[in-house]
Amino acid sequence: MDLTDKEYVERCRDGHQEDFRVLVDRYQKPLFAFLAGRLRDGRQVEEAAQESFVRAFLSLKKLRKPESFYSWLLGIGGRVAKEQLRSLKHRQQDCEVTESIMANAADRREDYPLEEAIAALPESYRQVILLRYYEGHSCQEIATRLELPLGTVTKTLSRAYALLRQELVARESAETTVNQTLLP
Amino acid sequence: MNCAECRENLVACVEGLLDREESLQCQAHLETCAACRAEHAAITRLQRQLMARSPATAGVSLVNPVMRRVQAMQTERERNSIMTKLFTRWGFGLGAAAGTAAIILIAFLVFPKAQATAAEVMTKGAQAVAKLTSIHLRGQLRTLPADNFSYINADCPFYTIEFWKQFEPDLKWRVEKPQRVVVADGQSTVMLIKNVGLAFKVPLSTTSAFDTQWLQRIANLSNTITNELNNALAKGWNMSLTNETGADGRAKDVVTIEAKSGLPDNDYLKNLYFNTADTRRMYVFDNQSEHLESVKIYLHAASGEKLIFELNQIDYNQPIDPGVWKLDLPADVSWWQNEMQKLPDNDKYASMTAEQTARAFFEACSQENWSEVEKFLRESPLDHLLKQELGGLEIIQIGTAFTSNASPDQFVPYKIKLKNGYDKELNLALRKDEPTGRWFVDGGW
């Protein structure tokens, strides 16, 4: 049975830095998808993802809730993406290109709350969603890997979908409220 | 089926995991209930949104570059300050010691003395191999020489299975049994099934491919021992400790764990794989070095207990010959494809039941109509063993499909007469979780 995020974070803090490999393996795809919603260029996304993991590793001791590793990682990822966009804006002579990248990132905004909503799930639900959709495992493979009955996996998925939908609706209405407040 | 039952089964229905009768009941209810239909639509919409992530992230492989950067930074930090180095070392020691103490304390508080002592041996064993740069395992398994790496069968003879893994500087591994080998060389992961000259490739170095996960877990020995201990404690598996003198004259600690799969005895997949089997596992640790030296796994079957897996050589941190990471492929190797294509007349096949699919598959084999046979398979090229065995068969009987708790497949019992005159009676495994919506043959021929 795989260890939880909390256990891996604690092992890394205790000096088993090789165990960070498992956390990278576990979250590289959702982090990549999250960053791809903010940055257009694939190479930029990969650089930002690597940078986010490295910063996360170096700051592991500051993480107050090790069980919230993934949502904390997304926070780091969001900051790294902002820095990249800012630095790109400063570097680029051709402002039109930069503006188009920024506009493109803004256009795709509706897509990336999904990863944030996944981060808000309790770990057992999040784990099943990540294995199913980011690692491409079938329900049976997940059942085998987590040593759970198949029925438990489908029920967990069912509950995870319900929580995800609630979370997405809540985020959407919060965003609508913000937009309405900002509108003249 | 009422609304509550429909809601409970919606995900299984969307995933194609219901049996035919339940699936029909679910569909019938959806046709008449707008509320459940809306729920179904919401789930499939969310699924599509999630599915859209897969293509963009399919080739993502950040583990090695990130770990290289992490290790480089660690080295740099350590070089910069002797004090940091000292503190880091102490930190490692204290953290590990605290973890060990916690597990042992819990074990002492909750379990009888013998179990607690076994837990102590396991915990120390996990610590002793916490920092590995490489590992080489060699043992034997009752299996078929070319079948899946996790396939076990108490009636099969023993075959040698060997595993090499390099953790640093790059993650590389190789697993080999007589007719099947996988190599991950840091760039990609390739499997060759030797007896049919068929190769499979994943364009990244991954540790979760080709049914080798259980070996990967074993190779991460520190985690394996810790997980085994945690499992035993969490699931209440019986755990005991005995002391022996080894062939080398040294004292050995032998931890025995009785593992339970939780599946009923009449389940079709019970005892076919490690994780569906009830087993007795014996771990032998050297008392002085605390290193795990050997493992034996016995299968508990209705007919009695039988040794099915033995690990009798474990080399820690030994240099591995670079040739191990090279895979020699035959010049005429065939590369496997696993995407089912939608057919012009796909609806005709998608509307078939599992039993109708089994019959149509065998009829196509009977006529040696291999292009038709391929419509019932996910993979190509067509396995030449399938052609050899099933070409020209005669159908005697097709039974009613049944399911197992341990698989999404449906199993259709069949009896056929082969071209060589022998009767064959088995269960054809069919699955229906591809976007084409057709049943495909998942095994059992």
Q: For B211-267, what is each residue's pLDDT tens digit?
A: 777 777 778 888 888 888 888 887 888 889 999 998 889 999 999 999 888 778 777
Using the beta-carbon criterion (under 8 Å), do A138 and B42 form an inter-chain contact?
no
- Put simply, the chain A residues between 107 and 126 with a CB less than 8 A from any chain B CB are 114
Residue whose tokens read 């290109």: A97
Mark which residues 47-76 of B lie under 8 Å from A by CB: 47, 49-51, 53-54, 56-58, 60-63, 65-67, 69-71, 73-74
Query: Given this model, what pLDDT does residue A90 score?
Result: 59
Interface of B with A in 263-322 (CB under 8 A): 273, 275
Q: Which of B12, B49, B130 sits opposite A114 (nearest CB)?
A: B49
Q: Which residues of chain A does CATH 1.10.10.10 include?
A: 120-184
Task: Tell me whether residues B56 and A32 touch, CB distance under 8 A.
Answer: yes
On whether any CB of chain A is under 8 Å from the CB of B100, the answer is: no
Instruction: Give the pLDDT mean for A172-184.
Output: 42
| Chain A residues 81-100 with CB within 8 Å of chain B | none
CA–CA separation, B18 and B6 (whole Å): 11
Q: Which residues pair with B160 in a beta bridge?
A: B140
Token duo for residue B337: 């494809």
Taking CB atoms and an 8 Å limit, are A28 and B56 in contact across chains? no
- Residue of A20, A115, A133, A135 to mutate, testing the B interface (most B Cβ within 10 Å of its Cβ): A133
Phi, psi of A94 (to 5 degrees): -85, 95
Instruction: Locate the chain B residue with the closest alpha carbon to A165.
Output: B46
CA distance, residue B352 to nearest chain A CA (Å): 22
* Smallest CA–CA distance from B406 into chain A, residue: A150
CATH architecture of the domain with range B130-325: Clam (2.50)
Q: How far apart are CA A162 and CA B99, in angstroms?
A: 37
Nearest residue in chain B measured CA to CA from A18: B67
What CATH number should be reported for the domain whose range is B346-443?
A: 3.10.450
Locate the chain B residue with the closest alpha carbon to A50. Answer: B66
Stretches where chain B sits below pLDDT 70 are: 53-56, 58, 73-116, 208-209, 268-269, 272-275, 337-339, 381, 384, 406
Looking at residue B321, what is its pLDDT? Answer: 92
Which of B23, B57, B92, B405 best tests the A interface by mutation, with the highest count of A CBs <10 A? Answer: B57
pLDDT on residue A93: 44
CA distances (Å), origin B301, targets B231, B279, B305, B372: 21, 9, 6, 40
Q: How far is B398 from chain A (nearest CA, A)?
A: 26
Cβ-contact A78, A71 below 8 angstroms: no
Burial class (CB in 10 A: 0-12, 13-18, 19+), B121: buried
Could you tell me how far CA B325 lies from the centroid of its own chain?
22
Whether the CB-CB separation of A37 and A109 falls below 8 Å is answered with yes
CATH of A1-110 given 3.40.309.10, 1.10.1740.10, 1.10.3720.10, 2.40.160.20 = 1.10.1740.10
Instruction: Please report the pLDDT score of residue B34 as a whole number.
Output: 82
Q: What is the pLDDT of residue B359?
A: 96
Q: If you measure CA to CA, which chain A residue comes closest to B10? A: A158
pLDDT over 50 at A52, yes or no: yes
Answer yes or no: are the C-beta atoms of A163 and A125 closer than 8 Å.
yes
Q: What residues 347-386 of chain B have any CB closer than 8 A to a CB of chain A?
A: none
- Would you call B196 an interface residue with chain A, using a CB distance cutoff of 8 Å? no
User: Searching chain A, which residue's CA lies closest to the CA of residue B55?
Assistant: A134
**A155 touching chain B per CB within 8 A:** yes
Q: Is the dihedral of CA A7, A13, A19, A24 positive or negative?
A: positive
Query: Ramachandran region of residue B16, left (φ > 0), alpha (ψ -120 to 50) or beta?
Result: left
- Environment class of residue B302 by beta-carbon count within 10 Å: exposed (0-12), middle (13-18) or buried (19+)? exposed
User: pLDDT tens across B151-190, in order?
Assistant: 777 778 899 999 999 987 778 899 999 999 999 988 888 8
CATH architecture entry for A120-184? Orthogonal Bundle (1.10)
Q: Which residues contact B285 (CB under 8 A, 6 or more apart)?
A: B121, B124, B125, B252, B253, B254, B255, B291, B292, B293
**Chain B closest-CA separation from residue A96 CA (Å):** 26
For the question of whether the overall pTM of this predicted structure is more than 0.80, the answer is: no
pLDDT of residue A112: 52
What are the DSSP calls for A107-147, one per residue? Answer: HGGGGTHHHHHHHTS-HHHHHHHIIIIIS---HHHHHHHHT
Query: How many Å lie between the alpha carbon of A42 and the closest alpha carbon of chain B?
Result: 9
Q: What is the pLDDT of residue B369?
A: 94
pLDDT, position B296: 93
Q: How confident is the model at residue A91 (pLDDT cuts 50, 70, 90)?
A: low
β-pair type (B198-202, B189-193) = antiparallel
* B12 with A161: Cβ contact below 8 A: no
Residue spans per domain, chain B: 3-57, 130-325, 346-443
Beta bridge partners of B440: B431
Spatial separation of the C-alpha atoms in residues B182 and B149, rounded to whole Å: 10
Contact between residue B400 and residue B355 where contact means Cβ atoms under 8 Å apart: yes
Q: What is the pLDDT of residue A98?
A: 36
User: How many angstroms separate the CA of residue B69 from the nearest CA in chain A?
Assistant: 7
Q: Which of B343, B346, B358 is nearest to B409 (CA)?
A: B358
Angle at Cα B245 formed by Cα B239 and Cα B246, nearest 5°? 95
* Inter-chain touch A54–B130, beta carbons under 8 Å: no
In chain A, pLDDT over 90 holds for what percent of residues?
4
Q: Measured between CA atoms, how close is B317 to chain A, in angstroms?
A: 15
* Among B313, B100, B122, residue whose Cα is nearest residue B228: B122
Question: In A, residues 33-62, which contact B (CB 8 Å cutoff)?
Answer: 33, 36, 46, 49-50, 53-54, 57-58
In this prediction, residue B80 carries a pLDDT of 38
- Total beta-carbon pairs less than 8 A apart between chain A and chain B: 136
What is the distance of C-alpha A172 from the center of its chain? 18
What is d(CA B212, CA B326) in angstroms, rounded to the nearest whole number? 18
pLDDT at position B253, please? 93
- Angle ∠(B335,B336,B338) on CA atoms, nearest 5: 150
Cβ proximity of A46 and A120 under 8 Å:
no
* Residue B315, amino acid: D
Q: List all residues 6 or more positions away from B370 whose beta carbon is below 8 Å from its beta carbon.
A: B364, B382, B387
Picking from B60, B222, B408, the nearest residue to A150 by CB comes out as B408
Residues 6+ apart with CB under 8 A from B83: none
Task: Report whether B393 contacts B418 (CB < 8 A).
Answer: yes
CB B49 within 8 A of CB B383: no
